[in-house]
Amino acid sequence: MAKVRDLSGQRFGRLVAEYDTGERTKHRSVIWHCRCDCGNEIDSPASALVSGNTSSCGCLRNGYVGGGIGGGKPIDVTGQRFGKLTAIKRIGSDRYRYSLWEFQCDCGNKCVKQLHSVKRGEVTSCGCNFKPYDHNNERLYRMYHGMKARCYNKNNSGYKWYGALGVKVCDEWLNDFNVFAEWALANGYDKTAPRGRFTLDRINPYGNYEPSNCRWVSIEEQQRNKRHAS
**Pair 100, 112: CB distance under 8 Å:** yes
Is the pLDDT higher at 70 or at 179? 179
175 occurs within a structural domain: yes
Pair (148, 172) in one structural domain: yes
- Where residue 103 falls among pLDDT bands split at 50, 70, 90? very high
User: pLDDT at residue 95 above 80?
Assistant: no
What is the mean pLDDT of the segment spanning 183-200? 80
Q: What is the pLDDT of residue 3?
A: 65
Helix (H) or strand (E) holding 186: helix 177-186
How far apart are alpha carbons 39 and 52 in whole angstroms? 19
Contacts of 101 (CB under 8 A, 6+ apart): 63, 77, 87, 88, 89, 90, 91, 112, 113, 114, 115, 118
Cα 75 from Cα 91, distance rounded (Å) = 12
Evaluate if residue 132 carries a pLDDT over 70.
Answer: no
Q: Are residues 110 and 84 in the same domain?
A: yes
Q: Is the pLDDT of residue 91 over 50?
A: yes
- Asked if residue 131 is part of any domain, the answer here is no
Q: In this structure, is residue 103 part of a structural domain? A: yes
CA distance 210 to 117: 10
pLDDT of residue 222: 72
Q: Which domain holds residue 112?
A: 76-119
Q: Is 168 part of any domain?
A: yes
Instruction: Please compute the mean of the pLDDT values over residues 76-87 and round it to a whole number.
Output: 91
Q: Do residues 137 and 104 touch, judged by C-beta distance below 8 A?
A: no
Is 230 inside a domain boundary? no
Same domain assignment for residues 146 and 188: yes
In a shared domain, residues 42 and 100: no
Radius of gyration, CA atoms only, the chain:
19
* pLDDT tens-digit readout, 134-144: 454 478 888 99
Is 128 contained in some domain? no
Q: Are 90 and 164 part of one and the same domain?
A: no
Same domain, 194 and 158: yes
In a domain, 113, yes or no: yes
Pairing status of strand 41-45 against strand 85-93: unpaired
CA atoms within 13 A on the CB side of 67: 4
Of the pLDDT bands very low, low, confident and very high (cuts 50, 70, 90), residue 229 is very low
- Number of domains into which the chain is organized: 3
pLDDT tens-digit readout, 198-226: 789 998 888 999 988 899 888 777 777 66
* 86 φ, ψ (degrees, to nearest 5): -120, 125
Nearest CA to 214 out of 190, 192, 183, 193 is that of 183
Q: According to the model, what pLDDT value does residue 67 have? A: 44
Same domain, 110 and 59: no
Residue 43 has pLDDT above 80, yes or no: yes
- Res 120 pLDDT > 60: yes
